[in-house]
């Protein structure tokens, strides 16, 4: 029965055009929940669900990870089994941690520490466009308009298309890289062909970071955080930044205003 339900969930998610990544996560969450509940899977047992979620929290799972489980469980009961009963679940509080942002000087240091031209371009493009790691490795030659200095992302996160900017500073090096490529080719192909893995892109950034004296716990995603923060520091309206990043909700973008708050930075310590 468990396998049958998982197949039904997968089919429903595919019909609704959910991404491969989301489908994989939802199925994994439900597989764990079914193994925990064991019997009467077709019946909603709020107490049982709460115990399951408490079990996840006790293992120090991040709040964002814990919140995936009730999303998957609710989808199963509401959309697959069509049970109208409301499931009253309080979601785990999201982390209030501020994003790790690199200064312009630190970004320059990371780029300059990279000698491989392709790796240098990966880091420069990620910072200069604010793309997610999945968008960088999934970028195709035809997505980039060098005349207009724009990138047209198709089926980005949330199955939305969006336009973002392309940095003129890397235009010539970018042209060199794609010179012999076809429009449907990936910009950054692996040595074996096909697109790079996220792990490889993370490694490229990690290796570059290690060669500098930067002590921050930065990751590839810090390039996107830095892009947003530096745009705000340059006076770009937050609504435009939201659009460039592809954020559905302005509140997601507003976290960067806390990092770049000039009024706080201008306060002198009384010491």
User: Where in the sequence numbering do the catalytic residues fall?
Assistant: 132, 157, 221, 224, 247, 256
What one-character DSSP code corresponds to residue 204? Answer: H
Residue 13, phi then psi, degrees to nearest 5: -65, -40
61/119 Cα distance (integer angstroms): 33
Tokens of 3: 């396998």
Q: Where are the beta strands (DSSP E) in the chain?
A: 144-145, 150-156, 160-165
Query: Cβ contacts of residue 102 below 8 Å, gap of 6+?
Result: 110, 214, 216, 218, 222, 223, 225, 226
Distance CA 269, CA 95 (A): 28
What are the residue ranges of helices labelled H in 67-185? 68-75, 104-112, 117-129, 133-137, 171-178
């Amino acid at each position: 029965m468990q396998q049958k339900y998982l197949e039904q969930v997968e089919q429903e998610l595919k019909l609704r055009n959910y991404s491969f990544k989301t489908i994989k996560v939802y199925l994994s969450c439900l597989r764990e929940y079914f193994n925990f509940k064991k019997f009467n899977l077709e019946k909603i047992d709020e107490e049982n669900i709460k115990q399951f979620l408490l079990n996840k929290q006790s293992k120090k799972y991040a709040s964002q990870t814990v919140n995936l489980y009730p999303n998957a469980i609710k989808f199963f009961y509401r959309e697959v089994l069509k049970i109208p009963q409301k499931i009253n679940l309080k979601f785990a509080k999201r982390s209030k941690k501020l994003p790790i942002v690199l200064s312009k000087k630190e970004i320059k240091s990371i780029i300059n520490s990279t000698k491989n031209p392709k790796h240098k371009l990966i880091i420069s493009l990620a910072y200069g466009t604010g793309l997610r790691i999945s968008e960088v490795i999934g970028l195709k030659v035809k997505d980039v308009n060098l005349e207009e200095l724009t990138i047209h992302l198709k089926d980005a996160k949330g199955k939305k298309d969006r336009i973002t900017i392309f940095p003129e500073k890397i235009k010539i090096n970018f042209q060199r890289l794609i010179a012999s490529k076809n429009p449907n080719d990936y910009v950054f192909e692996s040595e074996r062909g096909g697109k790079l893995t996220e792990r490889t892109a993370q490694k490229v950034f990690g290796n570059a970071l290690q060669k500098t004296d930067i002590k921050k716990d930065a990751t590839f995603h810090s390039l996107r955080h830095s892009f947003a923060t530096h745009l705000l520091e340059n006076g770009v309206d937050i609504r435009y930044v939201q659009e460039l990043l592809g954020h559905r909700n302005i509140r997601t973008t507003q976290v960067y205003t806390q990092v770049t708050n000039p009024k706080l930075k201008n306060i002198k310590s009384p010491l």
